[in-house]
Amino acid sequence: MVHNFNAGPSILPHTVFEEASQAILNFNNTGLSILEIGHRTSLFEEVLNEAVSLVKELMKLDENKEVIFLHGGASTQFFQLPMNYLSKDKKAAYMDAGVWGTKAIKEAKRFGQVDVVASSKDRNYTYIPKDYAVPHEAVYFHYTTNNTIEGTQMHSIPNLSMPLVADMSSDILSREMDFNRFAFIYAGAQKNIGAAGVNLVVIDKKFLEKSSSTVPSMMDYKQHVSNGSMLNTPPVFAIYVCLLTLRWLKKMGGVAAIEKINQQKAGLLYDTLENIPLFHLPVAKEDRSLMNAVFTMNNEELEKKFLALCKAEGMVGIKGHRSVGGFRVSMYNALSLSSVEALVALIKDFGNKYA
Ligand SMILES: *Cc1c(COP(=O)(O)O)cnc(C)c1O
């Protein structure tokens, strides 16, 4: 038995793997593989339409929102967004709360003025900045809802007047949120919604109108929207895996139901770690992520022993990101409570032996 705590690409529901495998051999009893059907056939159109409508339903989006699937992962949005909205005389505001936000800032600077209004770099990104002012001329405010590498998460939506833009790659559809408050949301699929190779984008119609019309076609949001994610060949299989995962989430009871389980999983793990002095939790308690729990030990030998034990017990993906060290346990939607319970049992045993 393997327990997959990988940070991304990461665990997906087992039924999704089964259904996706079947579709590679014989998609919907057509005698064709999903890998060999045309993207402009009704077969694929149905897949895309259902995926879009499930996103709208699960996120409770209003009629002012457009949903598209794009190539290039979240990292492409780091530059596609400012390419569309910034110029030398225009400014955007960014929060710098982790590695991914820093990368987004770097790319935005190529296209216009960037005001980094808040940063937690001073304490190695172990907290979320709270008090900051955003210049009202900013054309948008960009932040990362969940800092995948550092294990911090924004638990409320900033109350600002300018359009809100969020990179939700690692916590999309994991908790209830008023998604309609955002002008622009993007998320690489490989953490909570599907297979790598596709990016979910939700864009407000008014914000869409303000996007550039002089960028190359593949960078042009309006063209992607008016062509219904089919400006060119979309990542057909990756979108199909998203559809299967979205169906699974709906069957589980939707976002509210999965949020409860996510809280149980993270609560159990953090409570356990807090009660064993061997482990150290670097992140400010109020900013802890429900998706990625980061912890350390101040003994390298014991860290190695712990990792070896995890490996022996089939616990995969526990080693922390090279920039943070220690351990990181990712608990995305598809990870079951029983996997966290198994890890917690191992942690307790380890604590009893070495504390
Ligand atoms: C994983 C991740 C990314 C990078 O996604 P790619 O699809 O590899 O470009 C960006 N932002 C966040 C918050 C992530 O977790």
List pLDDT tens digits, range 192-225. Answer: 999 999 999 999 999 999 999 999 999 999 999 9
Whole-number pLDDT of residue 322:
87
Given the residues 65, 96, 100, 204, select the one marked as catalytic: 100
Q: What is the mean pLDDT of the chain?
A: 97
Q: Are 95 and 144 in contact (CB under 8 A)?
A: yes
**What band does 323 get if pLDDT is binned at 50, 70 and 90?**
confident
Using the atom order of ligand 1, give the atom closest to the CA of residue 75. Answer: 9
Tell me whether residue 167 is one of the annotated catalytic residues: yes
Rounded mean pLDDT, 315-338: 94
- The per-residue b/e assignment along 227-253, b for 16 or more CB within 10 angstroms, e otherwise, is ebbebeebbbbbbbbbbbbbbbbeeee
**What band does 26 get if pLDDT is binned at 50, 70 and 90?**
very high
Whole-number pLDDT of residue 153:
98
Tell me whether residue 305 is one of the annotated catalytic residues: no
Instruction: Indicate the pTM of the whole model.
Output: 0.97
- Per-residue pLDDT of 82-96, as tens digits, reads 999 999 999 999 999
Whole-number pLDDT of residue 324:
86
Given the residues 65, 96, 167, 171, select the one marked as catalytic: 167
Using the atom order of ligand 1, give the atom closest to the CA of residue 146. Answer: 13
Given the residues 96, 171, 191, 287, select the one marked as catalytic: 191
Q: What gap in Å lies between CA 139 and CA 128, rounded to an integer? A: 22
Whole-number pLDDT of residue 1:
86
- Percent share of the chain, pLDDT over 90: 97
- Per-residue pLDDT of 124-178, as tens digits, reads 999 999 999 999 999 999 999 999 999 999 999 999 999 999 999 999 999 999 9
Q: How far is the CA of 350 from the centre of ligand 1 (A)?
A: 32
Q: How far is the CA of 30 from the centre of ligand 1 (A)?
A: 35
CB atoms within 10 A of CB 271: 10
Q: How far is the CA of 25 from the centre of ligand 1 (A)?
A: 30
Q: How far is the CA of 27 from the centre of ligand 1 (A)?
A: 30
Residue 313 pLDDT greater than 90, yes or no: yes
How does DSSP classify residue 321? P
Strand ranges for the chain from DSSP E: 3-4, 65-70, 91-96, 113-119, 141-144, 146-147, 152-153, 164-167, 184-188, 199-204, 279-280, 292-297, 315-316, 327-330
CB of 336 sitting under 6 A from ligand 1: no
Rounded mean pLDDT, 263-273: 98
Q: How far is the CA of 180 from the centre of ligand 1 (A)?
A: 22
CB of 197 sitting under 6 A from ligand 1: no
Helix (H) or strand (E) run with residue 349 in it: helix 337-354
Residue 326 pLDDT greater than 90, yes or no: yes
Domains of the chain: residue spans and CATH: 14-252 (3.40.640.10), 254-354 (3.90.1150.10)
Rounded mean pLDDT, 9-26: 98
CB of 97 sitting under 6 A from ligand 1: no
Tell me whether residue 56 is one of the annotated catalytic residues: no
Phi-psi group of 135: left, alpha or beta (phi > 0 → left; psi -120 to 50 → alpha; rest → beta): beta
Whole-number pLDDT of residue 54:
98
**What band does 3 get if pLDDT is binned at 50, 70 and 90?**
very high
**How do strand 184-188 and strand 141-144 relate by DSSP bridges?**
unpaired
Using the atom order of ligand 1, give the atom closest to the CA of residue 147. Answer: 13
CB of 167 sitting under 6 A from ligand 1: yes
Q: How far is the CA of 188 from the centre of ligand 1 (A)?
A: 6
- Per-residue pLDDT of 58-111, as tens digits, reads 999 999 999 999 999 999 999 999 999 999 999 999 999 999 999 999 999 999
Residue 234 pLDDT greater than 90, yes or no: yes
Residue 325 pLDDT greater than 90, yes or no: no
Phi-psi group of 23: left, alpha or beta (phi > 0 → left; psi -120 to 50 → alpha; rest → beta): alpha
